Structure 1
């Protein structure tokens, strides 16, 4: 449903109310509608701004009203949810229209050769509130614009990837639902990034009821050279069984598997089991969130193929940083560097997973 249709719905509901106590409210809204003919969303927002000014002279602009998400007490409560949706749609639509997002890349190292083999694209949003990427994607999904934002982020990442060394693969975060969107194959017809360099990294588990549809949508692209990655968020028997059938090109494991793997025997045993499992199904195992040299050494000894994390390289939006990723990882230099003050711990999320 469009912003305009939702605005008309709220306005109609308010004006149809017959409670005498709300007569002044209805008159104010009617006046705002007269001043903004044919633009109900602006009429509604300006009405909200005016009523807030009357109650407390604290809001100076329409933009401030939107950002603060203020709902005047005079607005009937039953419309608050719709109003929130309008504000979110307006905010996400402005972001998409003005392309207010950037792409950071984080290096992915081959652990045996200690050289960069790929890079994960992480979205960075240009906004005053500094909201994390996962919050933007969650807000967009809540108002039906999730796929639009995902494809905008994919386009931004593909364009930025032109400045990456050509020998690196590029991991792009995407939801399984968007993999079934007809815009995905069209994307590869319009970007310069060759499909054989692209890895689509699933940001969520593939819903069981959508699994066959997902396979049907993604297999033609895999036949053209596309690769896919899944994470270890869901490692139950059902998920592992589907993984055997899916045969992803990459399985990414995080801190829940690799954290303190150099100190905890059970963690080490779990990681070893996953190495054996992925070897059996022909999948490359990637360790995310490597924070210490001890973890890196043990993961390498276990035979984990690739890794990323703050220890190996932070996300960066600067092409000059990406150009330096062809150098071999200096283990001795890492240990000397880490002998000084401890750096910040790594945080995890999706899309913008590792804030720089």
Structure 2
């Protein structure tokens, strides 16, 4: 049952009450419905918030009722869940309607050429509670608005990408389920970002039951130039064989693979194996979360294709920062930049 249907059910129950003492309450709810035509969940939420603010004596009244053994029946758990869902729908809807999100880009360096070859787009939300991006996306998914928020983020990133150099690819985070949404191919008809500059970075592993649908949905877009990135942190059973079959354009590996690779022989051997694998299947290997000059040096020597991390560049919403990344750096220039950073304490990378 959708949240909107649930909202209508709660509203109908309130308005059907014939108790004269509740006439003012019912009128307030009716007024909210008039002010929010076609959006019952918002009308109900505003009604609930108004009721909470205006009834200053609610707690005292309930305590008196308990003493008189007139305690009203507890709110059924399913109603409480419905109200929580309605609040979430309202929050996410407000976010989408007011476009309260920005795009930060983080540079991705080609390690051999020591120049920026692309960026990863990361969402930043304008909110009073300062919630992290992953919490917003999780809340949106929980109330069936995950794809809506993802497509809004994709559109925001495409607009921001106008300020990037045209030779850079743009990696956009998306869930495999949203790749099945018919709005995905339509998106490329309306944004200015050419499809051959877009890399869709999958934020989750592909479910077994979705795999065939996923291939059927993305292959026509890949034929037009779209590229796919797989993050190893979202791997699961059978993921390696499926990855070989999918032949992603990029494989991204994180700290679990590259951390301390300059000192740990096992980590170094693992990274070397991934270099061999990706060379065999024609995939670009990207190391995420590079934090030290020592790690960067060994990863470059091993033949890792590309890298990103705080050592190379932090995520930024400032176009002037993007412009500095877009400048091709000669070897000596990058070496000087890294030498300057080598003395500072490495910082943990943001969650992507």
**Which band: TM-score by shorter chain?**
0.7 to 0.9
Counterparts of 2:263 and 2:16 in 1: how far apart (Å)? 68
Aligned to 1:330: 334
Q: CA deviation at 1:79?
A: 0.7
TM-score calculated relative to the size of structure 1:
0.85
**Cα distance per residue 1:217-274 (max 9 Å; x no partner):** 1001111111100011245561110111100000000011111111111111111111
Could you tell me which runs of 5 or more consecutive residues in structure 1 were left unpaired when the two chains were aligned.
59-71
Aligned to 1:116: 116
Q: CA deviation at 1:10?
A: 1.9
The 3 A distance-change label for structure 1 pair 51 and 126 is closer
Counterparts of 1:121 and 1:294 in 2: how far apart (Å)? 27
**Cα distance per residue 1:16-54 (max 9 Å; x no partner):** 799xxxx79966643433444545542553244324543
Mean alpha-carbon deviation: is it higher for 25-34 or for 189-198? 25-34
Aligned to 1:46: 47
Alignment size in residue pairs: 331
**Cα distance per residue 1:175-199 (max 9 Å; x no partner):** 1111111111111111111111111
1:297 aligns with 2:293: no
Counterparts of 2:75 and 2:235 in 1: how far apart (Å)? 47
Q: CA deviation at 1:128?
A: 1.1
Mean alpha-carbon deviation: is it higher for 3-12 or for 273-282? 3-12
Aligned to 1:342: 345
The 3 A distance-change label for structure 1 pair 303 and 128 is same
Counterparts of 2:257 and 2:21 in 1: how far apart (Å)? 57
Counterparts of 2:48 and 2:181 in 1: how far apart (Å)? 38
Could you tell me which runs of 5 or more consecutive residues in structure 2 were left unpaired when the two chains were aligned.
60-71
**8 Å contact 1:33–1:44 — kept in the other structure?**
no
The 3 A distance-change label for structure 1 pair 247 and 48 is same
**8 Å contact 2:29–2:47 — kept in the other structure?**
no
Q: Secondary structure at the match of 1:109?
A: strand
Q: Secondary structure at the match of 1:141?
A: helix
Aligned to 2:192: 192
Aligned to 1:65: none
RMSD over aligned CA atoms reads 2.6
Counterparts of 1:3 and 1:86 in 2: how far apart (Å)? 6
1:33 aligns with 2:29: yes
The 3 A distance-change label for structure 1 pair 212 and 2 is closer
Q: Secondary structure at the match of 1:117?
A: strand
TM-score calculated relative to the size of structure 2:
0.86
Q: CA deviation at 1:156?
A: 0.7
